[in-house]
Chain A
């Protein structure tokens, strides 16, 4: 294990590759969404040296994807006011003086603050005294019967196609699921002149008591509710069919999607479909923090794992900080606040500001955070995923990379596999290119249900490098550099 070097110590230990001879940065940010951008800007304001690594060619992350380009091409207005908020953030970042490694994939982060990233050709090493992991959320896997058929994709994937290349669904496409994004995306399509066949809303038909308990939060978060009602009005005006109270959805077809089936109460219905877009909310992208060995806790409300972190995002690994949705789902505005707090925490930890100064500067951010956070409890309760999504029936594919069903996982459990990693060895579930991103939550859910214990006790897959599939030549380039040095 390489020891951590004190801030300001510029001499790398022997054996590092040529590129590593450069001075480490105070603050390395992974992810160019609202958390990462806000953190970079804040850190620069505090005088820290900053590098931001992001897989996309432009700042914005998923939520503000391609916001600069959309603005330049006149498409941003159709994408809504909230989306355009990202433009100001992107511009502030462009002007803040941080080094910006766009179109770079961080594929390995080490506990001592070293980050390996590739531009698709060769890998390089970037060192940070503090590393902010701000890699956002992933869509919760929606393992329903037929979800691996061609023609079925997630709402998030469809939204990427729309935001980045302007692709719109046609009138044969159904949207199924719950969560703010389904309505938002449907409204976005309609506003852009597209169509969908209809929306199958799987949110709980009656607002559960747990959601009602959060009504105080709803009132404080009225801006968000107004947004949701606005989407519904837009969809009604466009005469988009919306089926509520949907309890089960299935995709059917021989070699590709042909029909979508759904159940309301005991009644099954069916309609032809050229596409099916699924979405059941988002969960933190914990690949990086899991690979780092940070402690994680099961969040029983959001039904997901999240890294254990303090108010400034510091994890139990000294050099590693988290902010934004990868630390717990809160949405774009919350992420932005948490990014600023993370930068303040890092500056204090590196001795650039005093703890008192940190707390003074953090105070207004915290107040803003409370306002944005107010509705979260309500949304979480309303959009809480159905139990069969976390632990689907035996014939449903859990791991699409290796074609492993939920039934195979249960069989492994009955043979004595008590955790995800043992199940992986038994079934190959999670051994494919996605490294268990898609099946990890399902595997944990199925094992927990089978054993009758909480997911916290079951744990998660161990995540091994690389964080994203990397070409062998890109990795080999690291050694080439070392030889040349």
Chain B
């Protein structure tokens, strides 16, 4: 039996970030990770660090989370491959451009000015390789991208340095309430703490069910393509109003194409299967915006699996019924940028029982309420 102040289940970015913040506050924390740190979506996502185009409910937290990225080395001792290369969301018609302008007005109305609408000439200047039919874009100039595996690893390593224990190869098989505390039963050991953090990603629903929380959720298997190395031709991360696309060239020259086309997830086998018919849509979207990509050779495709909520917003909250049980999951395909700040929010909840960070929209009870209505 090992005692701790908090047990974090899941060694992805959110689990490691929460563990780091707890350890920095002097708390004894144990992370239980079934495979290895960064094994699933945290380690193999597209690495976009984006405020642009976020759900309005996520904008405040996302904006407050951005400075962590710009000072990521101070936090974890590694630059995580982060570059503030900017994000560009392309409009391919006057109508799409109008959509962007309307969106920018809405966001400004909430008091945020990070999103900027630019004309065709400025798009051309920022992204000379873009297909000539594009009429404008929205940009966030100091959004960026990072290496997801390196980032998750850096958070894990820094958490260990700060005193957290990360048990890799340790799967949780049971959780029991005992004398005002949680007994977490793993395949290799038993752990006790007053606080448990559910950062189990795609498997978070199963973990939640162990303490009686049932969430309406499904599993995403967002696919990605990586090409051979190409000479540098695009700096920012590119998206599009009318296409499911995320497009970026890595520092090594490979091009990474994502955007949310779905493969098939298998939670029991702990793996995703690429669906090449859907993958072809991503390829088509990339080729439409960057005609030169038609001849680029695909080296590999893959998918990362994670949880998706009905409103595509995460759950960052105490369990409605299980005391001291904190959920941080359901990022629905865009949780990477929120990783650093969510660690702070979770540590606040765990140590103070509340947080000043804007997480009200991510309440666990919103689903229960919706079902009762």
A residues apposed to B, CB below 8 Å = 1, 15-17, 108, 116, 123, 416-418, 422, 425, 431-433, 435, 462, 464-466, 469-473, 475-480, 482
**Smallest CB gap from B303: residue in A:** A464
Contact A469 B297 (CB under 8 A): yes
Contact A464 B302 (CB under 8 A): yes
Contact A471 B299 (CB under 8 A): no
Contact B295 A17 (CB under 8 A): no
**Smallest CB gap from A478: residue in B:** B280
Contact A475 B283 (CB under 8 A): yes
Contact B281 A479 (CB under 8 A): yes
Binary interface encoding of chain B residues 240-275 relative to chain A, with 1 for a CB under 8 A from any of its CBs, else 0: 000000000000000000000000101000010110
Contact B299 A472 (CB under 8 A): no
Can you pick out 12 interface pairs between chain A and chain B where the beta carbons lie within 8 Å of each other? A1-B273, A108-B274, A417-B36, A431-B299, A465-B279, A472-B297, A472-B298, A473-B283, A473-B287, A473-B295, A475-B283, A482-B277
Whole-angstrom CA separation of A465 from B277 in the bound complex = 12
Please report which residues of chain B, range 287-302, place their CB below 8 angstroms from some CB of chain A when the two chains form the complex: 287, 293-302
In the bound complex, residues from chain B placing their C-beta under 8 Å from that of A116 are 276
In the bound complex, residues from chain B placing their C-beta under 8 Å from that of A471 are 294-298
Partner of A475, one of B266, B271, B280, B299: B280
Contact A480 B273 (CB under 8 A): no
| B238: Cβ under 8 A from any A Cβ | no
Q: What range describes how many residues of B lie at the interface? A: 20 to 34
User: With A15-B277, A471-B296 as given contacts, are A464 and B227 in contact (CB-CB < 8 Å)?
Assistant: no
Contact A479 B300 (CB under 8 A): no
User: Number of residue pairs across A and B with beta carbons under 8 Å?
Assistant: 92
Contact B280 A465 (CB under 8 A): no
Contact A472 B276 (CB under 8 A): no
**Smallest CB gap from A421: residue in B:** B39
Whole-angstrom CA separation of A146 from B295 in the bound complex = 32
Contact A478 B149 (CB under 8 A): no
In the bound complex, residues from chain A placing their C-beta under 8 Å from that of B342 are none
Counting from the closest, the 6 A-B pairs by CB-CB distance are: A473-B294, A478-B280, A479-B280, A476-B283, A476-B284, A469-B297
Contact B228 A476 (CB under 8 A): no
Contact A472 B277 (CB under 8 A): no
Mostly, the B contact residues are mixed
Whole-angstrom CA separation of A478 from B36 in the bound complex = 36
Contact A435 B276 (CB under 8 A): no
Whole-angstrom CA separation of A82 from B286 in the bound complex = 49
Shortest CB–CB separation between residue A291 and chain B, in angstroms?
10
Contact A425 B299 (CB under 8 A): no
B residues apposed to A, CB below 8 Å = 36, 38-39, 43, 149, 168, 225-228, 264, 266, 271, 273-274, 276-277, 279-281, 283-284, 286-287, 293-302
Partner of A108, one of B225, B276, B281, B302: B276
Whole-angstrom CA separation of A476 from B282 in the bound complex = 8
In the bound complex, residues from chain A placing their C-beta under 8 Å from that of B302 are 464
In the bound complex, residues from chain B placing their C-beta under 8 Å from that of A431 are 226, 299-300
In the bound complex, residues from chain A placing their C-beta under 8 Å from that of B284 are 476, 479-480
Whole-angstrom CA separation of A420 from B13 in the bound complex = 21
Whole-angstrom CA separation of A275 from B277 in the bound complex = 44
Q: Beyond the given A418-B36, A482-B277, could you list 8 further A-B residue pairs with CB under 8 A, ordered by the A residue number? A: A417-B36, A435-B299, A464-B302, A469-B228, A469-B297, A475-B225, A476-B286, A479-B280
In the bound complex, residues from chain B placing their C-beta under 8 Å from that of A417 are 36
Contact B300 A435 (CB under 8 A): yes
Whole-angstrom CA separation of A237 from B262 in the bound complex = 63
In the bound complex, residues from chain A placing their C-beta under 8 Å from that of B43 are 425
Partner of A470, one of B39, B168, B293, B298: B298
**Smallest CB gap from A291: residue in B:** B274
Whole-angstrom CA separation of A462 from B270 in the bound complex = 13
Whole-angstrom CA separation of A418 from B39 in the bound complex = 13
Whole-angstrom CA separation of A475 from B281 in the bound complex = 9
Contact A1 B264 (CB under 8 A): yes
Shortest CB–CB separation between residue A469 and chain B, in angstroms?
4
Whole-angstrom CA separation of A470 from B284 in the bound complex = 14
Shortest CB–CB separation between residue A131 and chain B, in angstroms?
15
Most chain B beta carbons < 10 A, residue from A123, A466, A476, A477:
A476
In the bound complex, residues from chain B placing their C-beta under 8 Å from that of A469 are 228, 297-299
In the bound complex, residues from chain A placing their C-beta under 8 Å from that of B225 are 472, 475
Shortest CB–CB separation between residue B13 and chain A, in angstroms?
14
In the bound complex, residues from chain B placing their C-beta under 8 Å from that of A435 are 299-300
Whole-angstrom CA separation of A108 from B43 in the bound complex = 24
Contact A470 B297 (CB under 8 A): yes
In the bound complex, residues from chain A placing their C-beta under 8 Å from that of B227 are 472
Partner of A476, one of B38, B280, B297: B280
Whole-angstrom CA separation of A433 from B229 in the bound complex = 9
Contact A432 B283 (CB under 8 A): no
Whole-angstrom CA separation of A433 from B253 in the bound complex = 13
User: With A1-B264, A477-B280 as given contacts, are A464 and B287 in contact (CB-CB < 8 Å)?
Assistant: no
Partner of B298, one of A15, A462, A475: A475
In the bound complex, residues from chain A placing their C-beta under 8 Å from that of B280 are 123, 475-479, 482
**Smallest CB gap from A125: residue in B:** B277
Shortest CB–CB separation between residue A430 and chain B, in angstroms?
10
Whole-angstrom CA separation of A422 from B169 in the bound complex = 13
User: With A17-B277, A480-B284 as given contacts, are A433 and B264 in contact (CB-CB < 8 Å)?
Assistant: no
